[in-house]
Structure 1
Amino acid sequence: MTTLAVRAPATTMAGRQKLTLVLLLGAQFMLAVDFSILNVALPVIGQGLGFQLSNLQWIATAFALAAAGFTLLFGRIADLFGRRRLFLGGMALLGLSSLVGGLATSPSMLLVARVAQGLATAIVTPAGLSLLTTSFPEGPLRDKALGLNGALMSAGFTSGAVLGGVLTELLSWRWAFFINVPVALAVLVAAPAVLAESRHERRPTMDVPGAVTVTAGLLALVFGLTQAGEYGFASPVALGGLAAGAVLLVAFWFAERRAASPLVPVTILRRPSVKWGNLAGLLAFATETSLVFLMTLYLQKVLGYSALATGLAFGVLGLGTVVGGVGAPRVIARLGSRATLITGFAVQAAATASLALLGTSQEWIWLLLVSTFVGGVGNMLAIVGFMVTATSGLPDSEQGLATGLATMTQQVGITMGIPVMSAVVTAAMSVDADVLGGVRVAVLVNAALVLLGIAVSATLRKPAASE
């Protein structure tokens, strides 16, 4: 009688896999930095290029609209036409648009560069993430790769404020753009030799109705959220954008049910791991990135910190996300992705709620530093648990789609969290014109949303042994 040995999942990366990991993580870190690197520099950019104060927010909004609106579409295109090809094209666009942004001489030129940067992010992020998941087999190696990816992406978002402040103070805001150019060139030179092409064996027809409705729906949704953050949720423009987004996304659902080759097969959206995993991920990204906004208000408006000092204070949060991302694969191996999601959200909720105790004395900075570090660890456990959950149990042919959904969740979460918390602060201050009081109310709302993440994560069933 012959006994077949079952090979245990590999736990050590080969040399090529290490090079792949370094290349993809470097690209993803740079993209995450771009989300926040200009926030501190906005007033300086406005003065230098002649932006009206009311139009400054479009520097961030133009990027967010393109990055969130086109992610799902480009994730599917990467599946069909080649993930490496899309990755390289996106990196080339990122380098070129960053050069144009750094050389901008007018508001319109800068906004065109920001839209192009957002499109490059929508191309590179899902393509890079799907290359990451298809380069590592499901199991310990993929968990480790996703943990490091999540840590660096979150650290990139928080450290973008630090880097933007340093570059603006020591050199010029233009270097917040120029810094991308050599990194993009290095990736373009190295990627062809390191990354293997990955695509569908059979190329189905493109789902045009689905592509149009989901892209237009996401654009309308993100536009409505950004307008709500500036003018409040009662604004007719904000309400119109949100309503249009909802209608178009419902139309997208019906289009996918009838499409021969749907952009997003309805069957994948019915998977609990995809459906509830992405909802948990949305809450994880929305709560932590908006907490950075709330603590920025506290540090600058209550404690009187400078923009640079505020950015440096968030270095502790960045350190917490790195610790959480590096440790997440071990926690997942021990507890499973579902329990890791719940644990991460529980830690984040406790740390966030403690920030409601902040006062007007500068001695409270120690509570902020400790709580943001601990909350960063918990948030990263939740984010890596989400990434593993949302991309597990799927064939390689659907990894681009799954990672496109996960990336869309990330970018919509980053985009929607700040407007929601801004509206909460504004509403609270309308009752009592006190910035600290508004921040405290918003912090408690933020913690409540994190608790909702625990409830969502608890609905995820534990995979059967055969899955």
Structure 2
Amino acid sequence: MSTSPPAADAAAVPMGARARGALLILCGAIFLEGIDVAMLNVALPAIRAELGLSTTTLSAVVSAYVLGYAGFMLLGGRAADLFGKRRMFLAALTVFLLFSGLGGFATEGWMLLVARFVTGVAAAFMTPAGLALITTNFAEGPQRNKAVLIYAATASAGFSLGLVAGGFLLAISWRWVFFAPVILSALILALAPRLIADDGKRSAGGRFDMPGAVTLTGAMLTAAYAVTRLENPGEGLPWTLAAIAASLVLALLFVAIERRTRAPLVRLGILRTGSLVRANLGALLFAGAFFGFQFLVSLYLQELRGWTALETSVALLAIGVDAILAPTLTPKLVSRFGHARVVLGGLVLAVLSYALFLRISLDWTYASMFPTMILLGLAFALAYGPLTIAATDGIAADEQGLAGGLFNTAFQFGAALGLSAVSAISVYSLADLSPAGRLEALQTALLVPVAATALAVLVTATGLRRPGLQPQQAG
């Protein structure tokens, strides 16, 4: 049963100065996480050129972050619930700052690998704690919805603007791609203790489900490792299959432990919440489609069309329109139609945007690409924030960290699956190395984003047919 005030009352309560300050800090942290990932993607060629990294090592630099992020996300979310959301947020932000700086000083590949893995682990603890601080500091209803939508818009804006910022920082040195987040982290860390109130939560009775934590983290790490290898299944296939098997065994062991322990790390009953499950499936498919699409567009523009990294970044910048629309238009739509219908509208627009890009040719103008970019930005504005609301709506305060961890894990795994799927399909469908042959392979791989978002539409639509699962209207 919800204990939040009526929607009209929540809307009437103005957001105080301290609340606005806390929201600004938490948005700054998720913006930091977004630009960190985006800027590194742009800087990879420059890093390889200076450090002489092999293609395998360069790919591992990206995979190391995914392993740390996805492997520890659920543990990070539950740790925030058990040991205090603010405490975990500040501790993780400190680690993020230190190891991002280490990456900037790297002189060998192994240093980058360590830095990116630990940075991913820090993000896995920081992100669900930040989302949980928002959902527990704002009353459920329009006020929380607005805060979550602003938070989600900031996250996607960080990724969009990070692509461009990375291009400009590369003009100085690729090392500034790591040093810039250090500066922003230090600023947030200095202000956060003053603006974010201590939630007062600590471990219940000092109990911590260590067996569950070990098996869960092991299952997530091996699953993430297997996902990052899927794009090249012919290389070390036995290791990939072994990782999948190990992940399944550890997952089953984790479930058995959680059923028997009196203080479970993850209350399995939370997975019976229909809106949470649909939101996580939708987030997984939506993220897989977008990150796969972004990867294919980068290959198309840079390898087939000869565009520079900065030109490619600017071309994708139109998607960043969601940073403007999400905190302004989306709250009004959610208030009037409910978050499920708004998510559905966003996903339908995403299907349309990806389908339009299937017509690419070797002489396409940017004007021909622009409808896809602007529609995808609108789709992000309508889908991402409301999906976040759906994943945490109606969840008890002491499980908000867990709910945020589940959502972010789904999003991260979706991104990794999408990248692996489009990479594998583009390689297997490559008939010849001519421009026409490579274009045809890209067009085939572009069917993945279309199919993924179409499936997400079906998942979301099932919730609309169940009256008991309808989102609350804002009055």
**3-state DSSP class of the match of 1:97?**
helix
The 8 Å contact of residues 301 and 435 in structure 1, kept in 2 or not, is answered as no
CA 1:441 to 1:458, structure 2 compared with 1: closer, same or farther past 3 Å? same
- The amino acid that maps onto 2:284 is L
Query: What displacement does 1:367 show?
Result: 2.5
1:452 is the counterpart of 2:449: no
User: Size of the alignment, in residue pairs?
Assistant: 461
The 8 Å contact of residues 274 and 469 in structure 2, kept in 1 or not, is answered as no
* Separation of aligned partners in 1, 2:397 and 2:281: 22
Query: What displacement does 1:64 show?
Result: 1.1
CA 1:16 to 1:165, structure 2 compared with 1: closer, same or farther past 3 Å? same
**3-state DSSP class of the match of 1:56?**
helix
- The amino acid that maps onto 2:199 is S
The 8 Å contact of residues 340 and 385 in structure 1, kept in 2 or not, is answered as yes
The 8 Å contact of residues 320 and 374 in structure 1, kept in 2 or not, is answered as no
* Separation of aligned partners in 1, 2:383 and 2:236: 32
**3-state DSSP class of the match of 2:394?**
coil
1:257-336 to structure 2, matched below 5 A, reads 257-320=259-322, 322-324=324-326, 326-336=328-338
The 8 Å contact of residues 155 and 321 in structure 1, kept in 2 or not, is answered as yes
1:59 — aligned with what? Answer: 61
1:404 is the counterpart of 2:405: yes
Query: What displacement does 1:60 show?
Result: 0.7
1:183 — aligned with what? Answer: 184
- Among 47, 50, 61, which residue is 1:48 paired with? 50
The 8 Å contact of residues 140 and 393 in structure 2, kept in 1 or not, is answered as yes
CA 1:429 to 1:415, structure 2 compared with 1: closer, same or farther past 3 Å? same
**3-state DSSP class of the match of 1:394?**
coil
Query: What displacement does 1:324 show?
Result: 4.0
Query: What displacement does 1:312 show?
Result: 1.4
**3-state DSSP class of the match of 1:138?**
coil
1:26-175 to structure 2, matched below 5 A, reads 26-168=28-170, 170-175=171-176
1:350 — aligned with what? Answer: 352
Query: What displacement does 1:159 show?
Result: 2.7
Cα deviations by residue, 1:283-308 (Å, 9 ceiling, x for unpaired): 11111122111111111122221112
* Separation of aligned partners in 1, 2:111 and 2:471: 55
- The amino acid that maps onto 1:443 is L
* Separation of aligned partners in 1, 2:257 and 2:157: 38
Query: What displacement does 1:463 show?
Result: 4.3
1:440 is the counterpart of 2:443: yes
**3-state DSSP class of the match of 1:13?**
coil
CA 1:465 to 1:112, structure 2 compared with 1: closer, same or farther past 3 Å? closer
The 8 Å contact of residues 321 and 379 in structure 1, kept in 2 or not, is answered as no
**3-state DSSP class of the match of 1:393?**
coil
The 8 Å contact of residues 84 and 131 in structure 1, kept in 2 or not, is answered as yes
Q: Larger deviation: 223-232 or 73-82?
A: 223-232
1:242 — aligned with what? Answer: 244
* Separation of aligned partners in 1, 2:204 and 2:177: 39
**3-state DSSP class of the match of 2:40?**
coil
The 8 Å contact of residues 83 and 203 in structure 2, kept in 1 or not, is answered as no
* Separation of aligned partners in 1, 2:257 and 2:324: 41
1:426 — aligned with what? Answer: 427
Query: What displacement does 1:230 show?
Result: 3.8
The 8 Å contact of residues 425 and 442 in structure 1, kept in 2 or not, is answered as yes
* Separation of aligned partners in 2, 1:258 and 1:71: 23
Cα deviations by residue, 1:216-267 (Å, 9 ceiling, x for unpaired): 1111111111111244599333333233223322332332222211111111
* Separation of aligned partners in 2, 1:192 and 1:128: 13
Unaligned runs of 5+ in 2: none
2:381 — aligned with what? Answer: 380
The 8 Å contact of residues 199 and 397 in structure 1, kept in 2 or not, is answered as no
The 8 Å contact of residues 68 and 221 in structure 2, kept in 1 or not, is answered as yes
**3-state DSSP class of the match of 1:105?**
coil
Q: Larger deviation: 41-50 or 138-147?
A: 41-50
Question: What is the percentage of aligned positions where both structures have the same residue?
Answer: 36
- Among 247, 253, 256, which residue is 1:254 paired with? 256
- The amino acid that maps onto 1:385 is P
The 8 Å contact of residues 126 and 403 in structure 1, kept in 2 or not, is answered as yes
1:385-396 to structure 2, matched below 5 A, reads 385-396=386-397
Q: TM-score of the superposition, structure 2-length normalised?
A: 0.92
The 8 Å contact of residues 231 and 421 in structure 2, kept in 1 or not, is answered as yes
The 8 Å contact of residues 232 and 238 in structure 1, kept in 2 or not, is answered as no
Q: Larger deviation: 213-222 or 123-132?
A: 213-222
Kindly report the root-mean-square deviation, in angstroms, between the aligned alpha carbons of the 2 structures. Answer: 2.2
The 8 Å contact of residues 73 and 211 in structure 1, kept in 2 or not, is answered as yes
* Separation of aligned partners in 2, 1:339 and 1:53: 43
Query: What displacement does 1:415 show?
Result: 2.2
CA 1:242 to 1:466, structure 2 compared with 1: closer, same or farther past 3 Å? closer
The 8 Å contact of residues 69 and 216 in structure 1, kept in 2 or not, is answered as yes
Q: TM-score of the superposition, structure 1-length normalised?
A: 0.93
- The amino acid that maps onto 2:457 is I
